[in-house]
Amino acid sequence: METESVLTDTAVEQLDAHWRALNYLAACQLYLRDNPLLTEHLRPEHIKPRLLGHWGTCPGLTLVYTHLNRLISQRDLDTVCVWGPGHGGPAVLAGAWLDGSYGELEPDLGRDLAGMLRLFRRFSTPGGVPSHAAPQVPGSFHEGGELGYSLAHAYGAALDNPGLLVACVIGDGEAETGPLAASWQANTFLDPVHDGAVLPILHLNGYKIANPTVSARLPAEQLDALLRGYGHEPLYVTATLDSDPARVHRDLAAALDLAADRIAGHQRAAREQGERRRPRWPMIVLRTPKGWTGPVEVDGVPVAGTWRAHQVPLTRVREDPARLRQLELWLRSYLPQELFDETGRPRGTVLACVPPGDRRLGANPHANGGRLLRELPLPDLAAFAVPVDKPGAGRHEPTRVLAGLLRQVMADTAERRDFRVVGPDETASNRLAELYDVTDKTWQAELLDTDEHLGPHGRVMEVLSEHLCQGWMEGYVLTGRHGLFSTYEAFAHIVDSMAAQHVKWIGTARTVPWRAPVAALTYLLTSHVWRQDHNGFSHQDPGFVDHILNKSPEVVRVYLPPDANTLLCVADHVLRTRNVVNVVVAGKQQCFDWLDLEEARAHCARGAGIWEWAGTERPDSGPDVVLACAGDVPTQEALAAASLLREHLPEVGVRVVNVVDISRLQPHEEHPHGMTDPEFDALFTRDRPVIFAYHGYPWLIHRLAYRRAVHASLHVRGYKEMGTTTTPFDMVVSNDLDRYRLVMDVIDRVPRLAVRAAAVRQAMEDVRHRHHDWVRAHGVDLPEVAEWSWPE
Amino acid sequence: METESVLTDTAVEQLDAHWRALNYLAACQLYLRDNPLLTEHLRPEHIKPRLLGHWGTCPGLTLVYTHLNRLISQRDLDTVCVWGPGHGGPAVLAGAWLDGSYGELEPDLGRDLAGMLRLFRRFSTPGGVPSHAAPQVPGSFHEGGELGYSLAHAYGAALDNPGLLVACVIGDGEAETGPLAASWQANTFLDPVHDGAVLPILHLNGYKIANPTVSARLPAEQLDALLRGYGHEPLYVTATLDSDPARVHRDLAAALDLAADRIAGHQRAAREQGERRRPRWPMIVLRTPKGWTGPVEVDGVPVAGTWRAHQVPLTRVREDPARLRQLELWLRSYLPQELFDETGRPRGTVLACVPPGDRRLGANPHANGGRLLRELPLPDLAAFAVPVDKPGAGRHEPTRVLAGLLRQVMADTAERRDFRVVGPDETASNRLAELYDVTDKTWQAELLDTDEHLGPHGRVMEVLSEHLCQGWMEGYVLTGRHGLFSTYEAFAHIVDSMAAQHVKWIGTARTVPWRAPVAALTYLLTSHVWRQDHNGFSHQDPGFVDHILNKSPEVVRVYLPPDANTLLCVADHVLRTRNVVNVVVAGKQQCFDWLDLEEARAHCARGAGIWEWAGTERPDSGPDVVLACAGDVPTQEALAAASLLREHLPEVGVRVVNVVDISRLQPHEEHPHGMTDPEFDALFTRDRPVIFAYHGYPWLIHRLAYRRAVHASLHVRGYKEMGTTTTPFDMVVSNDLDRYRLVMDVIDRVPRLAVRAAAVRQAMEDVRHRHHDWVRAHGVDLPEVAEWSWPE
C-alpha cells in the first residue's frame, strides 16, 4: 500500500474496540447460552448443547464491518454491503446488534444483557436465525448459503442508485464459482452517471471447507494481472497471524479512503466532465488469516490461519474442561469488560465509528428495498391490445405485442429509472426490440459505427450469462425496483438453483415482520420448446416450471397465456405483484388471437375457464369429453382438434377449457390460487374423460390434479423429451400433442360412438403418417397443417 | 506475433485450399439441396425450403480445423478438439466429411457427389443432423447447444491422457458465461506429468446474436492482463476483413507451432527434469471477422464482421433472384472446381494437410471414448460391508462405508489412472476421506507445510465450482474413463442444466450406431435435506431427482439406498453401468444398518421389496396397510412407525416396503426399470392404504405411480419446503414425515380400528407437541427420539 494513513491513535483504538466487540459477539453466538459477559468463569451449562456455526470467515467480515462504519461516518456515505461468504451470519448479526438497528427492528434484541443473550441464543438454534446473512439479518439483501451471487447482487443494487456505494465482500471460496467469475464483467455495464458504485472486497482468507483456495495461492503478480484484467485497480491490505491489528486498521482505512476518493473522482469525471471512457474502478484485496484472533492451536495442531478454523474451532468444550478454559481465554482476549458496561451496553469507544440512523449498515433502507418501492406506472392495455373480432381470425407474435407495453413502461420510468429488462442477448430475438425506441442496451465498452441500440445509459441489459442476468435482477428487485428477465425457456434451467434460492429468500422474508414487500421477480420464458426449428434438442426443455412449482406455493406463480392479449393481461398483473416469483411462458412466433382484450381480462382474472365458442357441448347434458389446454401451441392444437371433431363427429359434446394460471389446478389448500373442488369440477367435470394438451412435461398436470375427482379419467399430452431439429408440426406429432392425436384420444375415450368414429380415427392416423413422410421429403410441414386456421 | 513463419508458399496454398473447401462445404449445408458443385447456375429449386443454421462462427472454426490438421500431420500429434461455439456444426461436419472419417462411419456420406449432397441435405433438416457439434458429429464429444462448457470438457478429456493435446475453441459469446469463466482456473489442477495438455483458442469474432461480446471489446492490454491472470501465455493471431488469408495462415501456423513447442517444453520439464512449478500454458487468441469470407454487405447493410452474420447471412434466396445470384457468387468465391473433381472427390491439394487414420479429428478414438473404455476393477464388496446380525442393531455412516470401496478402486487404478472422484470441496465433509490413503487431491499451485492430502498427481479433484466438477466429469467420461461426482444434494441444482444436456447427449448418442457406450456419469448426492443442522433452509432441496426424472427414461437412474450395505451394492452396480446417468442419494450421518450384504444384494437387485421382518402382516389376509419408504431418513421413520404400531396396535397388519430404485415405481412401459402392474400390486396391493415416506418432494411419488390401481389410496409424506436451521427430528416433524405422524396417518386410514386407536393417535399427537416444546427449550431432540433404536 502506497497510501498514507490518516488515522489518529485514538481513532485506531476506537476501530479496534469496535472490531473486538464484533469478534466477541460473533464468537459468543457460536458458543454461549448464558454468562454473556463472562462475569463468571465459563461452566459447561453456559455452553450451547450443539455447537453450530462458522468462525473462520467472521473476523475478516467484522473487520470490514468496522471499517465501512468509519468510512460511512466520515463521508456521510449512503452504503450497503453484500456479505458474500456464506456462513458469515454471526459477523453481520453482531454488527447490526452493535449499531442498534437490530434492536430497533426487534425490540427484544436491544443493546443490553438480555438482548445480547438473545442474540447469542437465537443464532443457529432450532427456530432461530441461520448462520448465513439470511432475510432475518438486518442490512442483508443477500443470503450467501449458496455461494457465487454476491457480486451480481451488488451490481443489481447499484444500478440506478447514483448516490449509493455498494461494498461487496467476496470470499475466496465463492470466487471459484462460475457465477461469481462471470460477475466481474458486470463493470462493463455499470453507468457511472446513473448508477452507483460497487466496491468489491476480495477477502482472501486462504481456505474453503477443507482446501486452500485457488485465488489465495496464485502468485501475487498473476492475481494482480487477473484483477486488472477484470478492469479494476486493486488495492491490497494484508494481515498475517503476526500482524499488529493497529497497522492493519491503518492500512485498511487508507485503502478504503483511497477507493472512495477514486470512486468519487470517476463519478465526477463522468457526471460533470462528460468523461466517456469506462473507469478503472478500485477494489480491495483483503488478505487475513482464516479464523484470525481465534485459537491458534488446538491440541498442538494449527487452527487459526488454516482450513481447520472453518467451522467451530474448539469443539467438545462442554465435555472437556481444558477446552472450556481455552474457550474462555479466547473470548476474554477481546476484553469484553472494556467493550461493554455491566448492563451489556456497548461503551462509547466501541460505538465511536458507528454512523447514525439510516446510514447504519443494519438500517439502510436499500437493504430492505420494499421501503423504497414505488408502484410502476402501468398504462391502459387498450393501447397495445390486438383487435379480435372473432377467435382465430388473426395472428400475432405475442411477445412482440408485449413489447409495446414494456416500451411504454420503460418510457414512463425514464426519469425514475426503476425498471429494467435483462436477458442473455435475446431481447431482439425474443421480439422485444421495440424497447430500443425508448432506451438503449447499456454498454460502457468501446462503441463502433456499426453498433445499434448500444449506449452508456440504457436500461436493457444483455450479457450471455443467465447467472449474471438473474443476479442483477435479484439485486435490483431486492433493493426496491422492478424488472423483467426474458430468456430462452430451456436455458432457464441454468439458473434453477439461483431461482430456488430467491424463492427461499422471499418465502422467509414474508415471515420477517420488518421486511417490506418487494416487487416480483418475473421470468418471461420464450423461444420455447415447441419452436426450436434450427436449434433442436438441446434447446427443448420446458422443465423450469416443474422446478419452480416444487417451491413454496405462497411465492411461486406460473402463467401460460395462450395468445397476445392474454399475455398483455398477465404482464399487467405480474408487474403489480409483490413478494412472489412469476414465470410467464409465451411464444414469440405467430400465434392465433383467440380473445379480445375484455375477454382476455376476464379469462386471466379467472385463471382458467371454458371457451364456449370453441366447444360443441349441449347446455343440458354436460360434455361428453373435456379438451383442456395450457400454453399457446397446445391451445392451437386443442382448438384444431375441436374443429376436427365438430366437422367429423359433431355428435360428440366437446368442452374446451383453457388454463392460464397453472396453479389453479392445485387444491386450494395447497396453493393460494388453487381451485376448490366444486370450482374444479365445474370446469373439468367429475367423471368425463379429460384430454389435457399441456405445454410441458405431462406428469406435471397429474401432479397438480391427482386429488381431483376426475383424475382417474384425466389423460395428459405434452412434451415427452422427443426433441430434435425439425418443423413445428413435426415436433407436436413426435410428442403426440398434435390435433390428430388429440382427436384419436377423444375417440378412444368417449364411449358409445357411432361406427363412423373408427373411420375418422383411421383418417387421423393416416394424416399423421402422411405428415411424417411429407416432412422428410420436403423439409416443411404439410400444407393443410401449415395453412390451417380456425374455421369461420 | 513475434514468431517466424515456417510455411512454404505451397503449404500456404494447400492450407488455403483446405480452408476454402471447408467454408464451401459449410456454407452449402445451410443452403443447398441440389447442384452441390455448382455445375450449373443456382436455381430456386436447388435451395432448401427452410434456411436454417449459423454461418457467423463457421469460417473461424474451419480455419482452426485446417490448421489443427497441419499441426497434427506435421508432429504426429494425438489431438482432439472441443468446438465451443454453439452453432458451429457445419464447420465440424465439413471437416469430418473432408477428412473421410464421416464416410467411414456412415458409408452414404462418402467423398463423392452423392455423399456431398447428403451432407448438405441432412444438415438442420427434419430428422437430420442439428446445427451443433452434436453426438451425430464425428470427432465431437461436446455439443455446444448450451454455451459454457467447452473448456471444462477439454480439461476433463486431458486428465490422465498424458499423450493427448486437447484443443478447445472458446467462442467470445460463450466466454461471458459463468461456467466458462470458472473453467479458466482448471489449469491449477492439470498435472503436467500424468495429464495431457489443453490449448485454449479464444475465438474473438466480436459478436453474439445481436450484441458485441465483452471480451472482444476489452482494451488490448486489459485482455492480455486477464489471460495472463488466468495463468496463460497468450499468442495473438488477428484477421480483419481486409486481411490477406495467406498472412493469416502463416500467423496461425506459427502461433500453433509455438504453442506446441511450449507445451512440449513444459511437459518435458515436468516429466524429465522434475520441474514442480506450474507451467504458464500457452493459449491462442484468434480474432477473425464474424462470417468472414461471406457476404460483406446485403442491401447496403454491412453483414460480414457484424452480428448480422450470426445466422443465415442471405435470406430469401429462393424468392429473390438478386439474392440467389449473390449466393452463387459467394459460393463460387471458394472456387469449388479447384477444390473437388467432377465426382465430388476432394483434390490432392485440398487433402495435403489431412492427417492419416485415427489421427484425424473426425476419427480420434478419444472423441468416441467408449472405444477406449475398460471395465473398472471392482473388488468383492465383502471386504467393505458392515456386519449386520439383526436389523437396526448397529449404525454406520453410509458414505464412510462407501469410501472403503472407492479407496480400493482408486488404489487398483493407480497405474491405469482411469478413475477420478470430483466434488466441490466436500470429499472429506462427505466422509470420503479414506480416499486420501491412496491418492491426493490434485493441486498444482503453491503448497504450504500445513496442507494435507494435496499433491500434483492426485486423482481426487476439488474446486468450489459444481460447474467445473460436472464439466470435468463429462469430459472424462465421454473420453472413455470412469468417475464419481459427490456433492451436496441441494447444490446439485447448480448443474441442473448441464446434467440435462449430458442426459440429452447420452440419449442421442445411444441412437448413433458408431458411438461406443461410455461409462455412466454418477452423482452421489449427500449432505442431504434431512441433515443440515447448521446450514438450514438454503441447503435443503431434494429436487435434483425430480429434474433428472423428467429426462429420457432410457438414460436416467435414481437410487435411494436406505443403509450402508445397500449403498455399497448400489455403488457396485452404478460403477458398471454404461450410457446412463445415475443419481445416488445417501446420507453421511449415522444411519441404522438394516440389511447384511447378502440381503442388501438381493434387495438392490429387486430395487424394491417387502421387509417382512419389519411388518406385522399375517400371511393369510394380506396387510391392512402398507408403510412404504425410500431414502435413509424416511426408512428410519417408517420403521420406527412400524415398531410403534407393533407395540400399540399389534392387531394392525403392517407391511413395510422399501424402495431403492425409484424408477421401479414407474410403469414398465415408461421406464426400463419400471414394474409391471402385477409386480407393483404384489408389493403395494391394489386397494389397501399405502403410507409412503419419501425422501424428497411427495408429489414425485404420485407422478411415478398415478397409473397404479392403488393410487387412489396412496398417501405420501416427504419434504414440503418446510426448511430451517434445526435438529434432525424437528426437520422431519416440520415436514410431517416423522414416525408419530406416520402412525397417525395409518390410524386415519385403516378402517374399523379398536376404540383404543384414538388414544394411541392422541398420544402420538402429544409427543409431537412435546418434541416441539423440548427442541425450542433445549436446542436438541427429545431423548426418546435421539436414543431410539429398533426394538429387540
What is the DSSP annotation of B670-705?
Answer: TSTTPBPHHHHHHHH-SSS-EEEEESS-THHHHHHH
How confident is the model at residue A154, as a pLDDT? 98
Put simply, the answer to whether B229 touches A231 (Cβ < 8 Å) is no
Which residues of chain A lie closer than 8 angstroms to B287, CB-CB? none
User: Taking CB atoms and an 8 Å limit, are A211 and B425 in contact across chains?
Assistant: yes
Give how far B114 is from chain A: nearest CA, Å.
17
Q: How far is CA B546 from the centre of its chain?
A: 17
Query: What span, in angstroms and rounded, lies between the C-alpha atoms of A573 and B17?
Result: 59
CB contact under 8 A, A134 and B493: no
Sequence-separated contacts (24+) of A344-348 with Cβ below 8 Å: A344/A36, A344/A37, A344/A111, A344/A112, A344/A113, A344/A114, A344/A115, A344/A116, A345/A111, A345/A112, A346/A21, A346/A98, A346/A111, A347/A17
pLDDT digits (tens, 9 = 90+) for A589-604: 999 999 999 999 999 9
Residues B477-499 pLDDT 10s:
999 999 999 999 999 999 999 99
> Residue A1 pLDDT > 50, yes or no?
no
Q: What CA–CA distance (Å, rounded) separates A351 from A341? A: 13
pLDDT of residue B87: 86
ipTM: 0.97
Architecture of the domain whose range is B9-357: 3-Layer(aba) Sandwich (3.40)
Q: Say what the pTM is.
A: 0.97
Inter-chain residue contact A210 with B725, CB threshold 8 Å: no
Phi, psi angles (nearest 5°) of residue A442: -70, 140
Burial pattern B615-625, b for ≥16 Cβ within 10 A else e, equals bbbeeeeebbb
User: Rounded to an integer, what distance in angstroms lies between the CA atom of residue A375 and that of residue B85?
Assistant: 42
B230 to chain A: nearest residue by CA? Answer: A226
Whole-angstrom distance, CA of residue A51 vs CA of residue B180: 38
Q: What is the pLDDT of residues B610-622, one digit of tens each?
A: 999 999 999 888 9
* Contact criterion met (CB below 8 Å) for B208 and B310: yes
Put simply, the answer to whether A49 touches B222 (Cβ < 8 Å) is: no
CATH of domain B607-786: 3.40.50.920
Q: What is the pLDDT of residues A363-418, one digit of tens each?
A: 999 999 999 999 999 999 999 999 999 999 999 999 999 999 999 999 999 999 99
pLDDT above 60 for A2: no
Q: Is the pLDDT of residue A75 over 80?
A: yes
C-alpha–C-alpha distance, residues A688 and A684, integer Å = 8
Chain B residues with CB under 8 Å of A146 CB are 490-491, 494, 538-539
Q: Are B469 and B425 in contact (CB under 8 A)?
A: no
> Among partner residues B426, B550, B706, which is closest to A543 by beta-carbon distance?
B550
- Residue by residue, DSSP assigns B568-617 as HHHHHHHTT-BS-EEEEE---S-EE----HHHHHHHHHHSEEE-GGG---
Question: What is the average pLDDT across A528-555?
Answer: 94
Q: CATH homologous superfamily for A372-591?
A: Thiamin diphosphate (ThDP)-binding fold, Pyr/PP domains (3.40.50.970)
User: What are the residue ranges spanned by the domains of chain A?
Assistant: 9-363, 372-591, 607-786
Q: What percent of chain A has pLDDT over 70?
A: 99
C-alpha span between A474 and A152 (Å, rounded): 8
For CA atoms B580, B581, B585, B588, give the dihedral sign. positive
Q: What tens digit of pLDDT does each residue of B365-384 get?
A: 999 999 999 999 999 999 99
Closest CA to A607 of A561, A648, A645, A563: A561
Q: Any idea what DSSP says for residue A129? A: B
C-alpha cell at A671: 396453493
Q: How far is CA A760 from CA A443, A584, A783, B681, in A?
A: 59, 37, 20, 37
For residue range A313-354, list pLDDT tens digits in order.
999 999 999 999 999 999 999 999 999 999 999 999 999 999
Answer yes or no: do A775 and B126 touch at CB < 8 A. Answer: yes
Question: Is A182 close to B176, i.e. CB distance below 8 A?
Answer: yes
Phi, psi of A693 (to 5 degrees): -95, 110
CB pair distance less than 8 Å for A501 and B730: no
Residues of B in contact with A425 (CB under 8 A): 173, 208-211
Q: Which residues of A touch B500 (CB under 8 A)?
A: 493, 541, 543
**Contact status, residue B192 vs residue B230, Cβ threshold 8 Å:** no
- What is the C-alpha to C-alpha distance for residues A638 and A781, in angstroms, rounded to an integer? 18
* Pairwise CB contact (< 8 Å): B130 & A535: yes
pLDDT in tens, A350-377: 999 999 999 999 999 999 999 999 999 9
Quick check: A209 and B534 in contact, CB under 8 A? no
- How close is the nearest chain A Cα to the Cα of B349, in Å? 34
Of A225, A538, A551, nearest to B225 by CB-CB distance is A225
Rounded CA-CA distance B575/B397 in Å is 20
CA angle A475, A480, A486 (to 5 degrees): 55
SS3 B465: coil
Structure confidence at residue B519 (pLDDT) = 98
Q: In a 10 Å sphere around its CB, with 0-12 CB exposed, 13-18 middle and 19+ buried, how is residue A155 labelled? A: buried
CB atoms within 10 A of CB B555: 24
Residues B136, B509: Cα–Cα separation, whole Å: 7
Kindly provide the residue ranges of all beta strands, DSSP E only, lying in A638-689, ordered along the sequence.
Answer: 654-659
Please, are residues A255 and A199 in contact by the beta-carbon 8 Å criterion?
A: no
Nearest to B601 by CA among B409, B385, B406: B385
A533 → chain B, closest CA residue: B52
> Which chain A residue is nearest to residue B551, measuring alpha carbons?
A721
C-alpha cell of residue A229: 484484467
Residue B2 has pLDDT above 70, yes or no: no
Instruction: Decide if pLDDT at B103 tops 60.
Output: yes
Find, among A635, A622, A768, the residue nearest to A688 by Cα: A622
Taking residues A222-236, report their average pLDDT: 98
- In chain B, what residues touch A497 (CB-CB under 8 Å)? 491, 493-494, 496
- Cα–Cα distance between A310 and A52 in angstroms, integer? 11
Shortest CA gap B235–chain A (Å): 16
For the B373-591 domain, the top CATH level (class) is alpha beta
Per-residue pLDDT averaged across B194-201, rounded?
Answer: 98
pLDDT at A160: 98
* 8 A C-beta contact, residue B284 and residue B237: yes
pLDDT tens for each residue of B535-592: 889 999 999 999 999 999 999 999 999 999 999 999 999 999 999 999 999 999 999 9
Q: Cell triple for residue B390?
A: 439383526
Coil vs helix vs strand at B484:
strand
Length of chain A: 792
- Give the tens place of pLDDT for each residue, A674-712: 999 999 999 999 999 999 999 999 999 999 999 999 999
Contact assignment for B311 to A534 by CB distance below 8 Å: yes
pLDDT value at residue A3 = 46
| Closest CB from A443, A491, A711 relative to B497 | A491
Closest CA of chain B from A664, distance in Å = 17
Which of B555, B721, B727 best probes binding to A when mutated, by most A CB atoms within 10 angstroms?
A: B721
Inter-residue contact B483 to B170 (CB < 8 Å): no
Chain B residue numbers with beta carbons less than 8 Å from the beta carbon of A448 are 212
Q: Distance between CA B249 and CA B504 in Å, rounded? A: 37
Decide if B182 and A184 are in contact by the 8 Å CB cutoff. no
When pLDDT is averaged across residues B394-417 and rounded to a whole number, the result is 98
Report how far Cα A52 is from the mean position of its chain's Cα atoms. 27
* Residue of B123, B217, B421, B533 to mutate, testing the A interface (most A Cβ within 10 Å of its Cβ): B217
Find how far residue A596's CA is from the centre of its chain.
33
Q: What is the mean pLDDT of residues B705-729?
A: 95
**Closest-CA residue of chain A to B777:** A126
Chain A residues whose CB is inside 8 A of the B727 CB are 50, 126
Q: pLDDT-derived band of residue B686, with 50, 70 and 90 as boundaries? A: very high
Interface contact flag, A543 B547, Cβ < 8 Å: yes
Residue among A527, A542, A660, A684 nearest A594 (CA): A660
Torsion of CA A182, A185, A186, A190, to 10 degrees: 180
Average pLDDT value for chain A: 96
Q: For residues A383 and A434, what is the distance between their CA atoms, to the nearest angstrom?
A: 15
CA distance B23 to chain A (A): 20
Cβ contact, residue pair B48, A441, below 8 Å: no
Indicate the pLDDT class of residue A533, thresholds 50, 70 and 90: confident
Structure confidence at residue B5 (pLDDT): 55
To the nearest whole Å, the CA of B468 is away from the closest chain A CA by: 8
Spell out which residues of chain A touch residue B537, defining contact as CB-CB under 8 Å.
130, 134, 145, 504, 508
- The whole-angstrom distance between residue B265's C-alpha and the CA centroid of its chain comes to 33
* Rounded-to-integer distance, Cα A680 and Cα A671, Å: 14
The amino acid sitting at A380 is D
Q: Largest alpha-carbon pair distance within chain B?
A: 100
Partners of residue B429 in chain A, C-beta under 8 Å: 209-210
Domain B9-357 and domain B373-591, same fold? Reply is yes
* A contacts of B461 (beta carbons < 8 Å): none
Kindly list the residues from chain A whose CB atom is less than 8 angstroms away from the CB atom of residue B451.
Answer: 212
For residues B534 and A26, give the distance between their C-alpha atoms in angstroms, rounded to a whole number: 15
pLDDT at site A87: 86
CB contact under 8 A, A126 and B726: yes
Is B306's CB within 8 Å of A446's CB? no
- DSSP letters spanning B38-94: -SS---GGGB-SS-----TTHHHHHHHHHHHHHHHHHHT-EEEEEE-STT-HHHHHH
Residue A778 C-beta-side C-alpha neighbours within 13 Å: 11
Query: Which residue in B532, B525, B499 sits closest to B584, CA to CA?
Result: B525
Under 8 Å between Cβ of B679 and B673: no
Are B723 and A504 within 8 A, CB to CB?
yes
CA distances from residue A231 to A167, A280, B204, B307 in whole angstroms, order as listed: 17, 6, 18, 25
Mutate to test the interface with B, among A213, A488, A541 (most CBs of B within 10 A): A541
A706 vs A685: CA distance, rounded Å: 14
Predicted confidence (pLDDT) at residue B4 exceeds the cutoff of 60: no
The CATH number of A9-363 is: 3.40.50.970
Please write the tens of the pLDDT for every residue from A433-492.
999 999 999 999 999 999 999 999 999 999 999 999 999 999 999 999 999 999 999 999
Pairing of strands B482-488, B419-423: parallel
- The helix or strand, by DSSP H or E, that contains position A467, with its residue range, turns out to be helix A466-478
pLDDT of residue B468: 98
Question: What H or E segment, with its residue span, contains residue A754?
Answer: none
SS3 A80: strand
d(CA B172, nearest CA chain A) in Å: 10
Of the candidates A225, A465, A468, the beta carbon closest to that of B229 is on A225
pLDDT in tens, B303-327: 999 999 999 999 999 999 999 999 9
